[in-house]
Amino acid sequence: MHRTSSLLPPTLFSSTIARTGRGKASGFTSAIAFSLFLSISALAQDKVAATPPMGWNSWNHFAERIDDKTVRETADALVSTGLKDAGYIYLNIDDTWEGKRDSGGVIHPNEKFPDMKALAEYVHSKGLKLGIYSSPGPKTCAGFEGSLGHEEQDAQTYGQWGIDYLKYDWCQQPPSNVEEMKAAYTKMHDALAKTRRPIVLSLCQYGWNKVWEWGTAVGGNLWRTTGDISDRYAVMAEIGFNQNGLEKFAGPGHWNDPDMLEVGNGGMNEDEYRTHFSLWAMLAAPLIAGNDLTKMTPYTIEILTNREVIAVDQDPLGKQGFRVTQEGPFEVWMKPMADGSKVVGLFNRQRTVERMAVNFAQIGFSGEPSVRDLWLKRDLGNFKDKFSAYVPAHGVVLIRVKPQ
């Protein structure tokens, strides 16, 4: 169930009462006040990611080469290319920003990021939000300083810097039991709640232990359901199409995350990138670009800023799409929309152009509904019983179907 509040766990609540004096009115009142504070903070947390987060992450293209200058240039590009106006507002710094801890245990950025607070102020001045990365282990995936044993310190530091999004990456081996993982993520969620700042919490642990079943309960706004994506059609398709069946776990404030976008990185052709973006939109997945925004082709910009496809992803109903039919390499997917329409994706996983169709009865419609092509941005008219079209190899035809 979607968590609408986040009271202190029983053990933490009991220890708070003990510290203030069990049985004393003042102590009990203090404990209640503290619990209420966390509940209010958690409610603020739940209001973030009401629709899937949109933004950019440094890892897919820049990896360890990310630095202050690149983040500022990317912030400028988010604005100048129209991506910000299209909804991409989170600018997320991935691994390798971390420096050392001082004698008090406070984390500091390394020489690539001389002043994180000033960087956040620059990003905020553009109307954007800044994200950061850490790990619940002693080290991050790239071997930098993790947050183990410093969760509250790090959360407070992020709040002071002005951070709006935390990707929290489980870089150690899979845990011996799921409770270990739940406890680690709950601990950071509670620490973020104390900052009184609405910070998106992105759980990155590759779908281990069926995270979709408990991600919401530990405070996650999104959770990785899969291993890392790469800029190849076969990998993207395996990840994306295998999300079918997880739709019941997604909704406002808590989303399945099949990993970041590879659109514009050069490893797929135009039809394959259109499939990538369409499928992620159908999945109500976070749309986190991962390319160099300062060097985009017009086609890449057109994909990433297609308002009609973005609207599929950002629909306020918050329903994740699912597979309606499959015949070998031909898949028909459907996503219910808040206005009563349904978006249908005809996905051709074959290496040749093929004709595909959707019978309207399969999506719960009858009569002669109207059809609009979301990539052509054109109304196609009314169709009786079914709609069919030629679909490119590894491509998609994405339509919005409205009843009469």
Classify each residue of 306-321 as buried b or exposed e, where b means 16 or more C-beta atoms within 10 Å of its C-beta: bebbbbbbbbeebbbb
State how far the Cα of 43 lies from the Cα of 320, in Å rounded to an integer.
Answer: 23
Tokens, residue 356: 């595909």
Residue of 154, 169, 231, 257 with catalytic role: 169
Tokens, residue 227: 């291993």
DSSP class of residue 294 equals T
Classify each residue of 274-292 as buried b or exposed e, where b means 16 or more C-beta atoms within 10 Å of its C-beta: bbbbbbbbbbbbbbbbbbb
State how far the Cα of 390 lies from the Cα of 346, in Å rounded to an integer.
Answer: 9
Asked if 321 and 284 touch (Cβ cutoff 8 Å), the reply is yes
For the question of residue 228 being annotated catalytic, the response is yes
Q: Read off the amino acid at residue 391.
A: V
State how far the Cα of 372 lies from the Cα of 116, in Å rounded to an integer.
Answer: 45
State how far the Cα of 255 lies from the Cα of 85, in Å rounded to an integer.
Answer: 22
241 CB contacts (<8 Å, ≥6 apart)?
279, 323, 331, 347, 349
Q: Read off the amino acid at residue 377.
A: K
Residue of 76, 228, 271, 373 with catalytic role: 228
| Residue tagged 């109304």 (tokens) | 379
Q: Mind telling me the catalytic residues?
A: 169, 228
